[in-house]
Amino acid sequence: MTRVALTFDAEHPDRSAWSQANAGRILDELAAAGVRCTFFVQSRWAEAEPVIARRIAAEGHLIGNHSAFHARMTLLSDDGVRADVGHAERTIATITGADAKPWFRCPFGDGYDDARVLSLLDGIGYRNVHWNVEPADWEPSRTASDVAHDTTARALEHGDGAVVLLHTWPDATSGAIASIVDGLTRAGATLVTVDELDALP
Ligand SMILES: [Zn+2]
């Protein structure tokens, strides 16, 4: 069995070419395909986009914590990590009704291999979820077909346990969803949430 987890960081983008509407389009495409995915929610984004944030939970997707301020975890003190992650946890719960625990994704992936950060996260009930497939959907030059092709090809090349890093805001990503789901499904893969995988990157 080839299980593939598409994961989306739901956050304030740092690029000029994007649309907040893409998060809603991605949810529409996933609902049409009947697929549940994992969304790592930055709580400041959820405060700015509460309707979309609530939709993520209401439509059955798995919610993880993507911090409050999207700071690099390795730059924060021990208390800073605990304060940021705890604040995000409470805000995400208030807005979406979902408990993000135990799923966390380090902003920029920074800290995923840092023993101090991982131990701090563990101490407050979280495990970091990194990724092993990176179609670079944040690059402005990437088209929907680039993202769809790379996601499908690399996830299948990785095989069971593929965790794909995507984002809710690029035009290319919202335009790629239908083709990604179709391509993976035709190849016999099953789309799952990260809590359904045996091992995580
Ligand atoms: Zn992020």
Given a cut of 90, whether residue 67 has pLDDT beyond it is: yes
- Spatial neighbors of 13 by CB under 8 A, at least 6 apart, are 138, 167, 169, 170
Q: Summarize pLDDT for 179-195 with one digit per residue, the tens.
A: 999 999 999 999 999 99
Mean pLDDT of 71-81: 98
Q: Summarize pLDDT for 144-173 with one digit per residue, the tens.
A: 999 999 999 999 999 999 999 999 999 999
Q: Does a structural domain hold residue 201?
A: no
- pLDDT, position 18: 81
Find out whether 40 and 68 touch, Cβ atoms under 8 Å: no
Q: Does a structural domain hold residue 108?
A: yes
**What separation in Å is there between the alpha carbon of 91 and the centre of ligand 1?**
17
Residue 23, token pair as written in the block: 């998060």
Q: Does a structural domain hold residue 107?
A: yes
Q: Summarize pLDDT for 10-36 with one digit per residue, the tens.
A: 999 888 768 889 999 999 999 999 999
Count, in order, helices (H) and strands (E) of the chain.
Answer: 7, 7
Given a cut of 90, whether residue 176 has pLDDT beyond it is: yes
**What separation in Å is there between the alpha carbon of 166 and the centre of ligand 1?**
9
**What separation in Å is there between the alpha carbon of 67 and the centre of ligand 1?**
9
The total of structural domains in the chain comes to: 1
Residue 23 sits at φ, ψ, to 5 deg, of -60, -45
**What separation in Å is there between the alpha carbon of 3 and the centre of ligand 1?**
23
Percent of the chain with pLDDT over 70: 100
**What separation in Å is there between the alpha carbon of 195 and the centre of ligand 1?**
20
**What separation in Å is there between the alpha carbon of 167 and the centre of ligand 1?**
8
Q: What DSSP assignment string belongs to 162-187?
A: EEEEEESS-HHHHHHHHHHHHHHHHT
Q: Does a structural domain hold residue 32?
A: yes
Q: Does a structural domain hold residue 27?
A: yes
Q: How far apart are the C-alpha atoms of 11 and 22, rounded to whole Å?
A: 12
Domain CATH number, residue 75: 3.20.20.370
**What separation in Å is there between the alpha carbon of 74 and the centre of ligand 1?**
14
- pLDDT, position 181: 98
**What separation in Å is there between the alpha carbon of 83 and the centre of ligand 1?**
18
Buried b (16+ CB within 10 A) or exposed e, 130-139: bbebbbebbe
**What separation in Å is there between the alpha carbon of 107 and the centre of ligand 1?**
4
pLDDT range class, residue 115, cuts 50, 70, 90: very high
Mean pLDDT of 123-149: 96
Mean pLDDT of 90-99: 98
Residue 116's domain spans which residues?
Answer: 3-196
